[in-house]
Amino acid sequence: MNPRLGLGILVLILLLMAGFPRLVSDNSIDRWLRYSESERADRTLFRKAFGSDDFILVALEEAATEEETSRPLIASLKSVLEQNLPEAEVVTPYDLEFRGQGGLPRSLSLGSPTHSESPDSLGTSLLFNPKSHSLGVLLFPERERFERVEVEVVREVVERMLAGRTWHLAGPSVFNEALSKLGESNERRLYPFVGALLVIAVAVVFRSLWLGLLASLSVLLCVLGTYGLAGLAGIRIDLVSGSLPPLLMVICLTSAIHLLKAWQRLGGSARRNALPRALRETSVPSFLAAVTTAVGFGSFAGSDIPALSGMGILAPFGVVLGWLVVYSLPSLSLRFPGFQAPALREREKVQVRVRQLDPVTLRRRDHRARLTLVCAFLLVAPVGMLCGRLSFESNPLLFFKESHPLPTAYRTIESHLIGLSPIEAAIHRKGFDMPVLLKAEDRLRALPEVVRVFGAPDLAGPILRGAAPPLSAQASEHPLTEKYVDNEGDYLRLTVFAKTLGSSAYTDLLERVDRILDEELGEGSIAALTGVVPTVVRAQDYLLRSQFQGLGTASLVIFLLTLVGLRSIGSTLIFMIPNIAPVLVLLALLALFGVSLDVGTIMVASVTLGIAVDDSYHVLWAFARARRAGLGRFASTDKVRERLGGAIFGATAANSAGFLVLCLSTFPPMRNFGILVTAGLWLALLAEWLLMPALLAVWRPRLSVVE
């Protein structure tokens, strides 16, 4: 390439880096929310009637055993929280008054906190457990969500006010804050380590520090330019786009190693035509690999899930930018005095002995190639059927290590106070009597996954046990009334505080809750069934389906572009088989060992396909050149292995080293992602090294590749 183009690309990257000050990290679960038209309508109705469904819960253990000290303490806590968060509404058990009787009724410590046995509690069962004497303080936002800084303010206030006591913090915004901190901690800790290891690994592959630095610089410039674009375009960096550095590392490094290995093999700068020859030899297959990978990732750009749509914009840009950087930097590097890409030592040079194979040897090698194909078919055929058993299972608490304080807080609160994965229902007030709703509540409380059920009837206790009269004046003064009865009186709110479950168990619970409400209240009584966690669970189901659709789209795009490059359907099919096989084997192994996909590993199939495609293009193009030079099919495969073996093995080893660093992550999905992608790298290498040559030798395609 022209050095001026390389200089122009460097200037472009410098301009893009102006977006770094605007770069925003957002690892919250909100990035995974996706609303269908019906879900959006439900959420709009719920928000208009009752406000936000977000909350922060401050849970205090063993507090209610000392009401004389806990009551003023909680009152002081409420006062300080209201001063620091003036827009938030703070509700404590001592606010829940009925008929002038304030505070926690002492009878609660003797019996169940239901409205039937403790009529004066007026909903204190939501914030008080008489068995464990735990109580909670609820904060509700005026906006859609609490900001991260507000969560930090609450934490700081609680730490100061409740020093020496056992307390826990929970809620959707608290979860988001913990997840964001975990993601940022891993990025700061792991990525410098990945970069250093990358330089060392590539330097070992090339046996040259200069070439190692050149390849690593290509990756760095690509990542900087891509993240700069994210800042300029206002795309937030989340758990998905946060995986871009290792992904771009794989894509850029593979192309760089193929180019620089060819340059090194052809003599480095000792021969002035070595670089142009290396560019001609590797640019087309690398370009096709970049285009197919970019189109595959680009299929996510239209996703309804913000995390995927952001990835669908940034990844294609990064892949194309990476190709431009890789193929412009070597030309630019020649401008620096003293730079030299060292040629291979004499013993390392490729020496292919072209000889005519005798009939016996030819038949033996032909039988060996056919046996390889039969073994591959016997392996891949049943493996493909196992893919149907693959499942998606995601439990938010498994995002954290067992030693992390958040899972401990969630399990403690859910065993002593309320469930933290609520299902919200907006119910038409007309059309049924209040006792019917109370009966529905009782059925929901009987579900083993449900910790608490709280609704409008609980606000008025025994008053609403008759035929549905208007809410009493006493009930209307309840601090939670506006959260459970809309201002116009058309809708009542019912909250099912469920335990934090895996996605499949939670989906089953959603269906049972929906069915119970339909049976008790009649079809059409439920105006909306929503909530943060139900939306996330539905989005995860959509995510699994969209990933397989995206994989199919990427495979189709790869097939069509390869068909254009090879001008032969048969040759294109040969190309596709060793690229699809590693993906099927990897997914089948997951299904065989009962490993479910989650938000961290859902993209493993797409990444494995992209890895396999890159090397496959180089193998196919090198084979076509050898055949065009007059070599036989087996001599051609031998030449391909000798010429590209170092580049393919070197790229796989270097990329594996980078991804294995992710195994040190404290974020389990990222750790699993690193392990699975490393496995995909070596499966792809086996396919290129064994399956592709066997297919080329047996099928004997007539290749006419684009140069």
Q: What is the pLDDT of residue 126?
A: 74
Q: Nearest CA to 220 among 322, 336, 96?
A: 322
- The CATH superfamily label for domain 9-27+177-345+359-389+537-699 reads Multidrug efflux transporter AcrB transmembrane domain (1.20.1640.10)
Q: What is the pLDDT of residue 355?
A: 56
On the 0-12 / 13-18 / 19+ scale of CB atoms within 10 A, 100 is exposed
Report how far residue 205's alpha carbon sits from residue 257's, in angstroms, rounded to the nearest whole number. Answer: 9
Q: Residues 523, 433: contact at Cβ < 8 Å?
A: no
Q: Which DSSP state fits 65?
A: G
The mean predicted confidence, pLDDT, of the chain is: 79
Q: Residues 35, 304: contact at Cβ < 8 Å?
A: yes
Report how far residue 415's alpha carbon sits from residue 338's, in angstroms, rounded to the nearest whole number. Answer: 69
Residue carrying structure tokens 């109370």: 438
Q: Residues 131, 62: contact at Cβ < 8 Å?
A: no
Residue carrying structure tokens 């591959």: 376
SS3 337: coil
Q: Which residues of 255-276 are buried (b: 16+ CB within 10 A; e: fewer)?
A: bbbbbbbbbbbbbbbeeeebbe
Q: Which DSSP state fits 86?
A: T
Where helices occur in 387-502 by DSSP H, the ranges are 405-416, 434-445, 456-460, 473-476, 481-484
Least confident range from 111-125, 206-220, 228-242: namely 111-125
**In sequence order, what DSSP letters do the residues of 248-310 get, joined into one string?**
HHHHHHHHHHHHHHHHHHTTGGGSTTHHHHHHHHHHHHHHHHHHHHHHHHHTTTT-SSHHHHH
pLDDT digits (tens, 9 = 90+) for 477-510: 556 777 888 877 788 889 999 999 988 899 999 9
Residue 513, CA atoms < 13 Å, CB-side half-sphere: 27
Report how far residue 486's alpha carbon sits from residue 464's, in angstroms, rounded to the nearest whole number. Answer: 17
HEC sequence for 565-580: HHCCHHHHHHHHHHHH
Q: Residues 242, 338: contact at Cβ < 8 Å?
A: no
**Helices and strands of the chain, counted as H and E runs:** 22, 9
Q: Nearest CA to 322 among 423, 221, 229?
A: 221
pLDDT digits (tens, 9 = 90+) for 163-216: 888 899 999 999 988 988 887 787 777 777 777 777 787 788 777 777 777 778
Q: Residues 658, 246: contact at Cβ < 8 Å?
A: yes
pLDDT digits (tens, 9 = 90+) for 615-650: 888 888 888 888 888 888 888 888 888 888 888 888
Q: What is the pLDDT of residue 96?
A: 56
pLDDT digits (tens, 9 = 90+) for 120-168: 343 456 777 777 778 889 999 988 889 889 999 999 999 999 888 889 9
Residue 440, CA atoms < 13 Å, CB-side half-sphere: 30
The CATH classification number of 55-170 equals 3.30.70
Listed ranges 33-42, 52-61, 236-245; the one with the highest mean pLDDT: 52-61
Question: Which residues have CB under 8 Å from 223's CB, separation 6+?
Answer: 244, 245, 248, 249, 318
Residue carrying structure tokens 């049976």: 519
> Quick one: pLDDT band at residue 105, thresholds 50, 70, 90?
very low
On the 0-12 / 13-18 / 19+ scale of CB atoms within 10 A, 308 is buried
The rounded Cα 569 to chain-centroid distance in angstroms is 36
Q: Nearest CA to 608 among 628, 590, 632, 623?
A: 590
Q: Nearest CA to 544 among 383, 393, 389, 421?
A: 393
pLDDT surpasses 50 at 462? no
Report how far residue 618's alpha carbon sits from residue 254's, in angstroms, rounded to the nearest whole number. Answer: 10
Report how far residue 447's alpha carbon sits from residue 466's, in angstroms, rounded to the nearest whole number. Answer: 25
Summarize the confidence of residues 78-102 as an average pLDDT.
74
Q: Residues 604, 551: contact at Cβ < 8 Å?
A: no
> Quick one: pLDDT band at residue 702, thresholds 50, 70, 90?
low
Domain locations along the chain = 9-27+177-345+359-389+537-699, 55-170, 402-530
Summarize the confidence of residues 531-544 as an average pLDDT.
80
Where helices occur in 302-433 by DSSP H, the ranges are 306-333, 359-386, 405-416
Identify the sign of the CA torsion 227, 228, 230, 234. Answer: positive
